[in-house]
Structure 1
Amino acid sequence: MESLVGYAKRDLVVPQAPFDDLTVADIAARRWCAEVNTVLHSEICAIPAERLDADHDVLNALPSLRPTVAERACAVGAAEASGGSGAALCGAVRARTDRSQPAAW
Structure 2
Amino acid sequence: MIYVTHINNGDYMMVQGADFKDGASTFNISAKPFSGGIIEIRLDSKEGQLIGTSKIDKKGENYKIYTSEVERVHGVHDIFFVFKGESGELFHLDYWEFQK
**Smaller-chain TM-score bracket:** under 0.3
Structure possessing the higher relative contact order (Cα contacts under 8 Å, 6 or more residues apart): 2
Between structures 1 and 2, the one with greater helix share: 1
Question: Could you state the TM-score of these two structures normalised by the residue count of structure 2?
Answer: 0.21
